[in-house]
Amino acid sequence: KNQVEQSPQSLIILEGKNCTLQCNYTVSPFSNLRWYKQDTGRGPVSLTIMTFSENTKSNRRYTATLDADTKQSSLHITASQLSDSASYICVVRSLWGKLQFGAGTQVVVTP
């Protein structure tokens, strides 16, 4: 069973609307969690990193949250733009250094 589960698998939203992506993990002991954005035909690019002591972090229109107690993270996209169409991948690192990748959420923003 994958130690990092993402939901939904895919979603379609209208330009200008908000959306929230979820990441649940069982990786232990936990070190940090990153959200990556992967545009079609490109490599993933890090959006933000969340460590144990951080609850919320924003990067432009992206806001990530982390609840280390429930082992859940979310990525909120505000006022979506067409350029937000991509796959968003949650990656959790254990204290031993091992990285676990989620399967990703495919986001399609329509005009």
Partner 1 sequence: DAGVIQSPRHEVTEMGQEVTLRCKPISGHNSLFWYRQTMMRGLELLIYFNNNVPIDDSGMPEDRFSAKMPNASFSTLKIQPSEPRDSAVYFCASSLGGLTGAGELFFGEGSRLTVL
What number of chain residues touch partner 1 (CB under 8 A)?
A: 24
Between residues 10 and 18, which has the closer beta carbon with respect to partner 1?
10
DSSP β-ladder status, 45-51 and 99-101: unpaired
DSSP β-ladder status, 19-25 and 72-77: antiparallel
DSSP 42: S
Strand, helix or coil for residue 109: strand
Please calculate the CA angle 9-30-23 and round it to the nearest 5 degrees: 15
The residue range among 7-15, 60-68, 70-78, 87-95 that interacts with partner 1, by the rule CB under 8 A, is 87-95
Query: Does 108 help bind partner 1 (rule: CB under 8 A)?
Result: no
The residue range among 9-17, 36-44, 53-61, 63-71 that interacts with partner 1, by the rule CB under 8 A, is 36-44
Instruction: Please identify which residue in the block is written with the tokens 């733009």.
Output: 81
Query: Does 46 help bind partner 1 (rule: CB under 8 A)?
Result: yes
CA dihedral (56, 71, 85, 41) positive or negative: positive
Closest separation in Å from C-beta 74 to partner 1: 19
Query: Does 32 help bind partner 1 (rule: CB under 8 A)?
Result: yes
Per CB under 8 A, residues contacting partner 1 are: 31-32, 34, 36, 41-46, 49, 51, 89, 91, 93, 95-99, 101-104
